[in-house]
Amino acid sequence: MDAPDRATVARELHDFIAPALSGPIGPDEDYFALGLLNSLFAIELVVFVEQRFDLEVEVADLDLGHFRTISRLTDFVLAKLAGRAGLAA
Amino acid sequence: MTATSAPSALDGLGADLAAAACGQAARWDRDGALPVAVRGAAAKAGLLTADLPVGYGGLGASPAQVGELCARLGGVCGALRALVTVQAMVAAAVLRWGTAEQRTRWLPAFARGELLAGFAATEAGAGSDLAAVDTRVRAVVDGREPTLELTGVKRWVSFGQVADVVLVLGVLDGRHTAVLVETDRAGVTRQPVEGQLGLRAAQLAHIRLDGVRVPATNRVAPPGFGLSHVAATALDHGRFTVGWGCVGMAEACLRDMAEHVLTRRQGGTLLAEHQTVRALLGRAAVETAAARELAARAARWRAAGAPDAIAGTVAAKYAAARTAASVAGTAVQVLGAAGCAPESRAGRFYRDAKVMEIIEGSAQVAELHVADHLLRRTRATGSGGRR
pLDDT digits (tens, 9 = 90+) for B230-253: 999 999 999 999 999 999 999 999
Residue B47 belongs to some domain of the structure: yes
Q: Which of B366, B333, B364, B373 is nearest to B350 (CA)?
A: B333
> What distance lies between CA B276 and its chain's CA centroid?
35
Residue B365 belongs to some domain of the structure: yes
* Tally of domains in chain B: 3
- Residues B179 and B140: beta-carbon distance below 8 Å: no
CB neighbours (10 Å) of residue B160?
26
Minimal C-alpha gap between B230 and chain A (Å): 9
Same domain, residue pair B92 and B189: no
Final residue belonging to a domain, choices B61, B96, B116: B116
**pLDDT tens for residues B31-58?**
999 999 999 999 999 999 999 999 999 9
Find, in chain A, the residue whose alpha carbon is nearest to that of B234: A43
A62 chain-B contacts, CB cut-off 8 A: 97, 221-222, 225, 229
**pLDDT tens for residues A36-72?**
788 899 999 999 999 999 999 999 999 778 999 999 9
A25 chain-B contacts, CB cut-off 8 A: none
CB pair distance less than 8 Å for A40 and B369: yes
Same domain, residue pair B278 and B323: yes
Same domain, residue pair B309 and B375: yes
Q: What is the pTM of this model?
A: 0.95
CB pair distance less than 8 Å for A51 and B306: yes
Helix boundaries (H) for chain B = 15-21, 25-31, 36-44, 63-74, 78-97, 100-112, 232-263, 275-303, 308-335, 337-340, 345-356, 363-381
Final residue belonging to a domain, choices B65, B100, B116: B116
Same domain, residue pair B340 and B242: yes
Q: How confident is the model at residue B384 (pLDDT cuts 50, 70, 90)?
A: very low
Instruction: Tell me the residue type at B110.
Output: F
Minimal C-alpha gap between A57 and chain B (Å): 9
CATH number, residue B137: 2.40.110.10
- A-facing residues of B in 97-126 (CB < 8 A) are 97-99
- Residues A40 and A32: beta-carbon distance below 8 Å: no
Same domain, residue pair B110 and B213: no
| pLDDT of res. A85 | 67
Instruction: Tell me the residue type at B270.
Output: L
Same domain, residue pair B210 and B262: no
The span from the CA of B112 to the CA of B50, in Å, is 10
Hey, of A16, A46, A67, which one would you mutate to test binding to chain B, going by the most B CBs within 10 A of its CB? A46
Same domain, residue pair B261 and B321: yes
Which domain does B83 fall in, by range? 15-116
CATH number, residue B30: 1.10.540.10
- ipTM for the whole complex: 0.92
Same domain, residue pair B209 and B241: no
CB-nearest to A47 from B99, B307, B386 is B307
Residue B303 belongs to some domain of the structure: yes
Final residue belonging to a domain, choices B91, B116, B141: B116
Same domain, residue pair B287 and B244: yes
CB pair distance less than 8 Å for A43 and B229: yes
The span from the CA of B205 to the CA of B118, in Å, is 10
Q: How confident is the model at residue B22 (pLDDT cuts 50, 70, 90)?
A: very high
